[in-house]
Structure formats: C-alpha cells, structure tokens
Structure 1
Amino acid sequence: MLELRPTCENCNKSLPFDSDEAMICTFECTFCKSCVETILKQVCPNCGGGFEKRPIRPKHLLEKYPVSTKVVFKPAKP
C-alpha cells in the first residue's frame, strides 16, 4: 500500500491525500508537480527514476488506511 506522504520532498508544499499535484517515483519519493517539471526535470534526485501522478486514496478508506505523517524534506541541489 502506498505511504501517501504529506509534503513535497523538495519545497515542503502540502500534498493532501486528494492532491492532483502529488507525483511519486517507484520508491514513493514524493514531490509536487511543479518541482518535478521545473526543478527535477522529471528525474527523481534520490533514485534517478521517473515520476507518475500519485493515486488518490478514496476518502472512505482513510480511517482504515490513513495517510502517512512522515515528512521527508531533502531539497534538490541546483
């Protein structure tokens, strides 16, 4: 099950469970769409992989499968 991290690892922007801006790589590194497109150029700085839009977990499943509270903040080097 996806971890659904709450923020962008690069800019720390909030990415709630239903965000259309959340992007993930195969290791669930999580970034906002803006950072992926403009700063990271579609390449994960952690693993070198690409990104996909993070799926939205249905609201009725959040109690049973809550989103992560783990914040990872590692801004990419310019």
Structure 2
Amino acid sequence: MLEMRPDCERCGTDLPAEHPGAFICSFECTFCSPCADALDERCPNCGGELLDRPSRAEKHHAKHPPSAVRKYQAAKGG
C-alpha cells in the first residue's frame, strides 16, 4: 500500500492524499506537478520515472491513513 506522503520533497508543497497532483517514483519519492516538470519527470534520488500518484478517497483514511512524515528539508546538505 502506498504511503501517500504529505508533501513535495523538493519544495515542501502540501500534497493531500485525497487530491490529485502528486508524482511518485517506484520508491515513492514524492513531488508536486511543477517540480516533476522541472525535473523532466525523473526522480533526482534514484533516476526513476515520476508518474501520477493515485489519490486515496478520504473515507479510507481512518483504516488506511496517509503518512504524516514530511520529507521536505529546507536546509538540505547543511
């Protein structure tokens, strides 16, 4: 089951699980649409293809909650 990460790890934009607009690679690195476009639909971490992440209906959140762990770090490498 997908983690449904809550943010773009490149810019920090919120990406709610119930909304479209997130892109993921096979390792679930998660990016917003503008960042996926800027990355030419290639994951900067693994080089894999970034594809549309399916949304998860909110009615399923109680039994299958999306991740709350944010991956964006404003000061990467510092």
CA RMSD of aligned residues (A): 1.6
> 1:10 offset after TM fit, Å?
0.2
TM-score of the pair, normalised by structure 1: 0.88
Aligned residues: 75
- The question of whether the paired residues in 1 share the 8 Å contact of 2:41 and 2:51 is answered with no
- Tell me which residue corresponds to 2:41: 42
In structure 2, C-alpha distance between the alignment counterparts of 1:48 and 1:65, rounded to whole Å = 29
Counterparts of 1:61-72 in structure 2, within 5 Å, are 61-72=60-71
TM-score of the pair, normalised by structure 2: 0.88
Give ranges in structure 1 of 5+ residues lacking alignment.
none
Structure 1: 4+ residue segments shifted above 4 A: none
> 1:74 offset after TM fit, Å?
5.0
Comparing 4-13 and 67-76, the one that deviates more: 67-76
> 1:42 offset after TM fit, Å?
0.9
Q: Deviations over 1:25-75 (max 9, x none)?
A: 00000000110102x111100100001111111221110001101111257
What amino acid sits opposite 1:51 in the alignment? L
Comparing 56-65 and 26-35, the one that deviates more: 56-65
- Tell me which residue corresponds to 1:52: 51
Give ranges in structure 2 of 5+ residues lacking alignment.
none
